[in-house]
Amino acid sequence: MDAVRLVEVGPRDGLQNEPQALPVEVRVELIARLVDAGLRTLEAGAFVSPRWVPQMQGSDEVIRQLETHPGVTYTALVPNLQGLERALAVGCREVAVFAAASEAFSQRNINCSIAESMARFEPLLAKAKEEGVAVRGYVSCVLGCPFSSEVPRADVVKVARDLYAMGCYEISLGDTVGLGTPGKTRELIRACAAEVPVAALAGHFHDTYGMAVANVMAALEEGVRTFDSSVSGLGGCPYLPGATGNVATEELVYLFDGLGMSTGVNLPALLQAGAFVDAALSRLSASRVAIALRNKAQRSLRPND
């Protein structure tokens, strides 16, 4: 049976787009449920500035509390060497770095050019190699940018090729704002596969226009066998109002089960994990609304100055 590898990004890429951070214990429980459902590669957190991504505060504690299982890999996003050092301190054996294919997005997202971001990765990749830590590379905006619209395919290929040459074992091609279509996806995969082995390419699709599953199928037909997905479709893009999240892990498991392809994931258990995180986020949202209403009422009762 043909196998597909799913990389679960909900606990990081999904939750970082929520208005508030879930407590550490809830994030640990979510990841444990996802592992029990059969997922074997999971983004557990990110070692980024809490000023910019407060939802990822406590990633070190989340990773410390996770139970180890044979064949299960917990990864963390690291933007620079300092982030890698923090990941190493809690025992991460795989990390991820990200670069944009769009200059405009790179400047708005991480306040530097693509070339500058790549230069930051050189000492990081060297240190990771020294420590025996695997590095996965993300390329964002591969099928469109919220600021510059079209992204030249050659720019995507260059970033993917450079990350692979620097030592990233796998390159995840991210349709960050969900602008891709199946035809453009096929063309992109073919172009990248001319420079990077298709076995080292992964697809990362968002569902803004309902094209995520169709784009996964297009990439699958071009030979891609690794896909990023997010439990319950968590995620989005802060730079595109109304953009929906990552393709749901549940949808991909259902798709691949129907195609007779093995994912190793139990769909009923996965659905339960999705219900768990949805309920946790609903409670957090309700609490946030209650606090806001209470504060508003308290202000209205204050005597006029």
The set of catalytic residues is: 237
C-alpha–C-alpha distance, residues 242 and 258, integer Å = 30
Beta strands in the chain (DSSP E): 5-8, 41-46, 73-77, 94-100, 134-140, 170-175, 201-205, 226-229
Beta strands in 101-210 (DSSP E): 134-140, 170-175, 201-205
Report the alpha-carbon angle 37-237-73, nearest 5: 30
**Using an 8 Å Cβ cutoff, are 147 and 239 in contact?**
yes
Least Cα distance to 18 among 184, 232, 215, 169 occurs for 232
Least Cα distance to 206 among 4, 11, 13, 3 occurs for 13
For helices 153-166 and 114-131, angle between their N-to-C axes, nearest 10 degrees = 30
